[in-house]
């Protein structure tokens, strides 16, 4: 009998312990909920920073200048990574799925974007920061898979995505980014606007500086040969003329033909061109062949991303480095 009473008491103790623990659990849930939702009427305090995913280091730098530490930024294309050959990593998929805002260049730069978005359950708003910029159009040559020969190239019109080579375009980026951030986080509207005003001044100063530097190049030498068709916006804004490219396409993933290389060599000789400007992330083999054939020098520039630190770790330093290298090579 005593044994049965003892076992009964133990049973009741266990029940009371479980009930006590369960009560503590529900109490903790209520406390967390109460602390996590300090609402008053229709006003809800923001619990965490806006999570922003950007595709390029250029866009990331503009966001940093405007938002500072008010947002958490994830950059899909790291410093030195070629945007034309990007493949999403698993951590990129996670960042996109958790994002509040996704900022992209547009104009065909992010061919991977549709697959990336469809592969996640993201609810983020996608903003094309180049909205409002008039795109340059150029002929693209695509190989005909039915024939596969160098002569079977179909010409199509493509939008030039390299808008960042004109600071006036980046100013449009900054305006669009400021609007997007303000919509997501209106509490910090004044902060974003103040930083935008300061950054706008820096971009305007950069524009004036570039114009002064270009004046150092004789007018008959303001011609550009590049690894691919990348400096169109820069040339249009500052009075230079692109006369050829090793790969006459908007992407380094395209191919060039022997006929096109021969024409480029003739052009370089006819124009007494001094340099071929190649991206630091571009395979220089083809450009080196043209340089060896013509006697011109290869000049490395930053094209598709900022550098990891100096000399082109910010958009402003990126432009100053590239412009200085171009002027030095041509004047």
**Which pLDDT tens digit goes with each residue over 203-242?**
999 999 999 999 999 999 999 999 999 999 999 999 999 9
- Rg of the chain over all Cα atoms, to the nearest angstrom: 28
Sheet of 275-279, strands arranged across: 241-247, 223-228, 275-279, 297-301
What's the sign of the alpha-carbon dihedral 136, 137, 143, 145?
positive
**Model pTM above 0.85:** no
What is the model's pLDDT at position 303? 95
Residues of the chain with CATH 3.40.50.1980: 50-128+161-203, 215-330
Between CA 230 and CA 247 the distance in angstroms is 10
Q: What is the pLDDT of residue 47?
A: 60
pLDDT score, position 268: 98
Alpha-carbon span 168 to 141, nearest angstrom: 29
- CATH 3.40.190.10 given to domain 50-128+161-203: no
Which residues in the chain show pLDDT less than 50?
1-46, 141-156
d(CA 148, CA 48): 53
For residue 139, the model assigns a pLDDT of: 67
Nearest to 96 by CA among 111, 117, 70: 117
What φ, ψ does residue 55 adopt, rounded to 5°?
-85, -35
For the sheet with 125-128, list strands across it: 71-75, 50-54, 101-104, 125-128
Residue 74 belongs to what H/E stretch? strand 71-75
Tokens of 218: 């004789």
Q: Three-state SS for 186?
A: helix
pLDDT of residue 36: 38
- C-alpha to C-alpha distances, 60 to 63, 187, 195, 307, 311, nearest whole angstrom: 5, 21, 15, 13, 17
What pLDDT, on a 0 to 100 scale, did the predictor assign at position 157? Answer: 63
Is domain 215-330 given the CATH code 3.40.50.1980 in the classification? yes
């Amino acid at each position: 009998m005593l044994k049965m009473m003892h076992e009964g008491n133990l049973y009741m103790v266990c029940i009371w312990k479980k009930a006590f623990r369960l009560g503590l659990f529900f109490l903790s849930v209520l406390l967390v909920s109460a602390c996590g939702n300090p609402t008053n009427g229709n006003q809800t305090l923001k619990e965490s920073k806006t999570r922003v995913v950007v595709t390029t280091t250029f866009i990331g730098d503009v966001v940093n200048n405007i938002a500072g530490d008010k947002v958490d930024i994830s950059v899909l294309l790291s410093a030195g990574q070629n945007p034309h050959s990007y493949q999403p990593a698993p951590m990129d998929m996670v960042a996109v799925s958790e994002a509040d805002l996704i900022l992209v260049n547009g104009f065909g730069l992010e061919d991977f974007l549709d697959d990336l978005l469809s592969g996640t359950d993201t609810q983020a708003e996608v903003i094309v920061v180049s909205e409002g910029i008039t795109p340059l159009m150029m002929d693209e040559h695509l190989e005909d898979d039915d024939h596969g020969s160098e002569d079977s190239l179909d010409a199509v019109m493509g939008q030039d995505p390299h808008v960042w080579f004109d600071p006036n375009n980046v100013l449009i980026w900054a305006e669009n980014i400021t609007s997007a951030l303000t919509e997501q986080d209106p509490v910090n509207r004044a902060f974003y606007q103040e930083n935008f005003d300061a950054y706008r001044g820096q971009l305007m100063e950069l524009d004036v500086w570039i114009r002064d530097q270009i004046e150092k190049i004789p007018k008959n030498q303001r011609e550009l040969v590049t690894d691919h068709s990348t400096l169109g916006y820069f040339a249009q804004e500052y009075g230079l003329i692109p006369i050829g490219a090793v790969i006459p396409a908007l992407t380094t993933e395209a191919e060039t033909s022997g006929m096109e290389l021969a024409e480029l060599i003739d052009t370089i000789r006819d124009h007494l061109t001094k340099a071929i400007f190649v991206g630091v992330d571009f395979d220089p083999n083809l450009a080196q062949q043209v340089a060896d054939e013509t006697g011109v020098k290869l000049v490395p520039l930053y094209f598709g991303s900022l550098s990891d630190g100096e000399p082109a770790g910010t958009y402003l330093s990126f432009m100053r480095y590239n412009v200085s290298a171009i002027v030095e090579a041509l004047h």
